[in-house]
Chain A
Amino acid sequence: MKVSAEEVKHIAQLSRLTVPETEMQIFTEQFNQILSYADIMQKVDTTGIEPTPYVLPITNAFREDIAKPGVSHEAALSNAPAVENDGFKVPRVLE
């Protein structure tokens, strides 16, 4: 199932990535090649087959509701590119 350059632009936006206009054509071609690679799977008869999201039985991980020490503010902020007033600083959110 091929996609257009317009759709690739949308996919990039959903992925929080940008494809430069100058590379759009070649990128779209590349993307469509990957889709046709994956499309080979359409040949497989999967009627009545259950999907496998995980290979083992998964149960919720509960623990006793007792307070435990967490990550300190200092540690949490130690890798932040920008910090202000004990918080992560980012450029303005509303455009």
Chain B
Amino acid sequence: MDLFKYTAHELHEKLVNKEITAVELTNAVYARIEEVDEQVNAYISLSKEEALAQAEKVDAKIAAGEAIAPLAGIPVVFKDNININGQVTSCASKMMHGVSTIFDAHATEQLRKEDAVFLGKANMAEFSIGNTTDNSFYGAAHNPWNLACTTGGCATAAAVAAGEAIWALASDTSGDLRQPAAYAGCVGIKPTYGRVSRLGLAAYASSMDQIGAVTKDVTDAATVLNAICGKDFRDSTSWEVETPDFTKALVADVKGLRIGVPKEYFGENVDAKIKAEVEKAIEQYKAMGAEIVEVSMPHTEYAVRTFYVVANGEAGANFARYDGVRYGYRNMEAQTASEMTARSRDEGFGEEVKLRLMFGTHVLSKGYYENYYVRAMKVRTLIRNDFEEAFKQCDVLLTPTTPVLAEAYNTEMDAFAKYELDFTTVTANLAGLPAITVPCGFVDGMPVGMQLIGKVLDEATILKAAYTFEQATDFHKVMAPLGGNK
């Protein structure tokens, strides 16, 4: 029995029915990591000792006849920008290599209460900057559907698809949770901004960073949201709103649901084969009783530029903390404190990060602030208004999750064309809206994802729509083959 192939809710049943133990399950996943991670490079660090101790605790509870939480004993991988007390949070950067965090993220605390099993930390783009992992200090990660291809901006979904974790806790600033999930044939959900506390998540662009989940199906996604959402007074952007039971939304029924299809997400900049798969999904929704409404979101073409100015401005300020004084990389030869900070940053950050930090500093500086930063925040308002208008005509929006398939590492691409690949996902970050990606087909052996974007705080409707589609299809059941040469 290959335990790593199951979903969290299936494994929960097996644990409760005493068909398996949490220790067996944990060992099975580590054996899988041992077997395939040399090819995938999804992991930066492992914490087997702590994981097995967590698993033993769950087994003891089951043996004592105690009830266990839905995620108890289930092995999870964390993106390496989310703190686990006592473990390194590297952000895949030389700057944070070896830095052990001294507190749990709020989401980590919530998962400890659930008795989840923490496997280790996943590879990512350096500080989440960039939409592939090729700037990771620990080397690029490889897509289990084709090892020659990228995983997108983070390796969490690659780990899940390769059987190296049952699910993943990840973050999404521009789509760096949903895009890797789509590239790996997984489900990925980014809740409404403010649903999950950002305490203990390394800040990139604070007004857009949000923690979410990568899972094998929609049921697991709803289960994880139940565990990690909720007000945390240590994060001023944590929203004081009620956390519903998200699993109540797992009802297969879209009759009368108004699904908006924004034409700007189906233009020439989207791979025709991807469009064809997503259009089949739209037909399927229609057949299941949903009403399809064409909508227009005219400011979509400015979304990535807006993000670029806002996010890098925020990063320019956030990254001032990496000064070589309290933690992280330090140049030990510098003779003065200011020289030490500059040289530590020169040597600790990768090239793309440095370029973006300088750009971010520039757009916040005197004489440029109004023209770039303030203007971008205004265009951000226009993008939000586009959503507001669209949601007058529909209940959810449906788009391709990514405009292209996971690309081969040797694909030559202009830097700006690469930035623009985020246009399908980044709008939900700019507007703070919940969004989910679910597998909806295959093209040339690679998975295709479709995205459902919901109204603010309305995760329930996107979960319901995603669940209905999933129950009618088998795309989420296909395992990644780990094929192709790196």
A residues near B, CB below 8 A?
A: 1, 3, 8, 11-12, 14-18, 27, 30-31, 33-34, 37-38, 40-42, 44, 46, 49-56, 58-61, 63, 71, 75-76, 78-82, 88, 90-93, 95
Contact = CB atoms under 8 A, between A and B. Distances in A.
Contact of B233 (A46, A63, A91): A63
Interface in B349-408: 349, 354-355, 357-363, 365, 368, 371-372, 374-382, 384
Nearest to A51: B377
B432 interface: yes
Contacts of B354: 15, 17
B302 interface: yes
B326 A18 contact: no
Contacts of A59: 236
B158 to A, nearest CB: 29
Of the candidates B306, B358, B431, the one having the most CB atoms from chain A within 10 angstroms of its own CB is B358
B175 interface: no
30 contacts: A1-B371, A15-B354, A15-B357, A16-B338, A18-B346, A33-B416, A37-B308, A44-B375, A44-B379, A49-B378, A49-B382, A50-B381, A52-B430, A55-B194, A55-B432, A56-B432, A58-B237, A60-B236, A61-B235, A75-B102, A76-B102, A76-B326, A78-B100, A79-B327, A80-B326, A81-B325, A81-B327, A90-B337, A92-B335, A95-B338
Nearest to B238: A61
A41 B383 CA distance: 12
B115 interface: no
Given A79-B100, A80-B327, A95-B338, A41 B362 contact: no
B312 to A, nearest CB: 9
A59 B326 CA distance: 30
Contacts of B334: 91
B328 interface: yes
Contacts of A52: 377-378, 380-381, 384, 430
A55 B207 contact: yes
B330 interface: yes
B357 A17 contact: yes
Contacts of B337: 90-93
B19 to A, nearest CB: 42
Contact of A51 (B239, B305, B346, B381): B381
**Would you call the interface of chain B mostly helix, strand, loop, or mixed?**
helix
A5 B280 CA distance: 52
B236 A61 contact: yes
B66 interface: no
A34 B305 CA distance: 10
Given A17-B357, A56-B237, A78-B102, A91 B340 contact: yes
Interface of B: 99-100, 102-103, 193-194, 207, 233-237, 239, 299, 302, 305-306, 308-309, 316, 320, 323-330, 332, 334-343, 345-346, 349, 354-355, 357-363, 365, 368, 371-372, 374-382, 384, 416, 419, 430-432, 456
Nearest to B88: A79
A81 B376 CA distance: 38
Given A37-B416, A44-B299, A92-B335, A15 B328 contact: no
B480 to A, nearest CB: 35
A41 B302 contact: yes
Contacts of A30: 355
**Residue of A12, A16, A60, A61 with most partner-chain B CB within 10 A:** A16
A32 B450 CA distance: 35
Given A17-B345, A58-B236, A34 B378 contact: no
A51 B374 contact: yes
B310 to A, nearest CB: 9
Contact of A12 (B103, B358, B372, B416): B358
Contacts of B416: 33, 37
B345 A16 contact: yes
A3 B362 contact: yes
Contacts of A46: 375, 378-379, 382
B468 to A, nearest CB: 28
Contacts of A34: 308, 355, 359
A8 to B, nearest CB: 8
The 6 closest A-B pairs by CB, nearest first: A55-B432, A51-B377, A79-B327, A81-B330, A46-B378, A15-B361
B316 A15 contact: yes
Given A17-B349, A59-B236, 13 more contacts: A15-B357, A18-B342, A30-B355, A37-B305, A41-B306, A41-B376, A42-B371, A55-B193, A56-B194, A80-B326, A81-B328, A81-B330, A92-B336
A31 B485 CA distance: 36
